[in-house]
Structure 1
């Protein structure tokens, strides 16, 4: 056996031992966490039939000969969607919440990120203060923010907007300043040698490098905010989630299914559109 083969076998043995140890550690952590949280796979397995029974209850009863009858005929599509005049405006409100909160968050996070980055010559105290603030904002989940704002401002779209915007600012600022810190410093040094100001270095050295990442993260956050806004409605923060919770509480099973279908359709369309827009803006694709 050659020296290379012996070296290769030794490295392979070390990798196998390391993989085995990490696997055992992860399994131990998973079992310990499950025991502390009273997580039981057997209980989930035994409860699955009840879950599927509820799903079956939410499915509408449609009859093919009556499919396109009027809204007063049971078994028709119109009868199933009799609450669409209420649900469609709520879907639009949910989308508006996502767009408005994302736009505000992107602007604020972009400004904060340049002051929080370690390679923009920002004073350490300012950098630490901004990083601590955004860490707190993203540590608090949107649902917790929404509950507090509902208590303060009442039920409506304002609590949902504030909750989404604050959490998005915390998440996007971290992503943005990490993107700035990963940018090349060669253009910065070149502009500094020419006597460019700090603002000019940010504008002409950092921004062209990080712009594609900023846009990608912004589009991704828009998709996340729409999904989150449907959840926030469950606590009275506006949007289609409020309608979903009402239907569940009132046992309007058929309306639960059509509300979920609307959410899935809009999320799919939003994903498709944001992906196309991302390619157009970031990659310059047609």
Structure 2
């Protein structure tokens, strides 16, 4: 008995190794072929590595220690480096506001649409297909494409950025949310069904407590993504700090490029820290974190 089990185990192990090697070889071939089609060239990378930090070196501000804390008219001072902060900070606030508004609006809609989009909620097949199709269309269009369309319709400003982020976020969040609903345990749902609960009640009390932590995590993660995307959307006229970044790049104001990038890095870091704290606070039921 033990010998037959050992033979069976060795046979399965060998089969798994063969399949693993076959899949690894196939993936390697696809990878190499993709590199060939994309004209990937190691020589280009080798010659380009020494110049990788050239642009970073160019945008670094010229600061002089003896003038570091002088007024804004003295070159080499911090004040001279940040002479446009009174313009950039309101634009940065506008970018943050657009990212938060788009994330909250689209995530709430996605959370509502996720339950009828899932396969395990007994939703009508046609309704589920329509919701999934709309979500797929919204996330298939890049944010930049949406932004260009809305800039053409509404003009330059934060409104195109809001709609572009909201539509793409709705599509992406809906997919993530309904996939989370589909992998939730159906035992609470069956228990509620046996007690005569309605479909809405089964979703509310059987599925929502299971998927709520995942929904919150995806929402906070999406907020960070949307802030970074909103800076990119500013490059096509969707307002915010991205528009200031594009202007600085076009006018070769390299010191202001570094100032804007520094502000973006700081805000992303703060958002990452705060979102982690808020997520932990919510998931622990308001306990001290």
TM-score normalised over the length of structure 1: 0.93
Partner SS, residue 119 of structure 1: helix
Structure-1 residue corresponding to 2:124: 123
Structure-1 residue corresponding to 2:67: 66
* CA–CA separation in structure 2 for the residues paired with 1:279 and 1:55: 36
Superposition CA RMSD, Å:
1.9
Structure-2 residue corresponding to 1:197: 198
User: Aligned in 2, Cα 1:208/1:16: closer, same or farther, shift over 3 Å?
Assistant: closer
Q: Identify which range, 260-269 or 202-211, moves more after superposition.
A: 202-211
After TM superposition, give the deviation of residue 242 of structure 1 in Å.
1.1
Ranges in structure 2 where 5+ consecutive residues have no aligned partner? none
* CA–CA separation in structure 2 for the residues paired with 1:200 and 1:21: 48
* CA–CA separation in structure 2 for the residues paired with 1:38 and 1:246: 32
Q: Identify which range, 223-232 or 20-29, moves more after superposition.
A: 20-29
Map 1:1-286 onto structure 2 (within 5 A). 13-284=14-285, 285=287, 286=289
Ranges in structure 1 where 5+ consecutive residues have no aligned partner? none
* CA–CA separation in structure 2 for the residues paired with 1:6 and 1:117: 43
Partner SS, residue 196 of structure 2: coil
After TM superposition, give the deviation of residue 10 of structure 1 in Å.
5.3
After TM superposition, give the deviation of residue 13 of structure 1 in Å.
4.7
Q: Identify which range, 180-189 or 243-252, moves more after superposition.
A: 180-189
The answer to whether the Cα contact below 8 Å between 1:143 and 1:232 also exists between their aligned partners in 2 is: yes
After TM superposition, give the deviation of residue 7 of structure 1 in Å.
6.1
TM-score normalised over the length of structure 2: 0.92
Aligned residues: 285
After TM superposition, give the deviation of residue 57 of structure 1 in Å.
0.8
* CA–CA separation in structure 2 for the residues paired with 1:193 and 1:7: 43
* CA–CA separation in structure 2 for the residues paired with 1:33 and 1:116: 34
Q: After superposition, what is the alpha-carbon deviation per residue over 1:187-211, rounded to whole angstroms, capped at 9, x for unaligned? A: 2222222222222222222222221
After TM superposition, give the deviation of residue 268 of structure 1 in Å.
0.4
After TM superposition, give the deviation of residue 94 of structure 1 in Å.
0.8
After TM superposition, give the deviation of residue 132 of structure 1 in Å.
1.1
User: Aligned in 2, Cα 1:3/1:122: closer, same or farther, shift over 3 Å?
Assistant: closer
The answer to whether the Cα contact below 8 Å between 1:134 and 1:170 also exists between their aligned partners in 2 is: yes
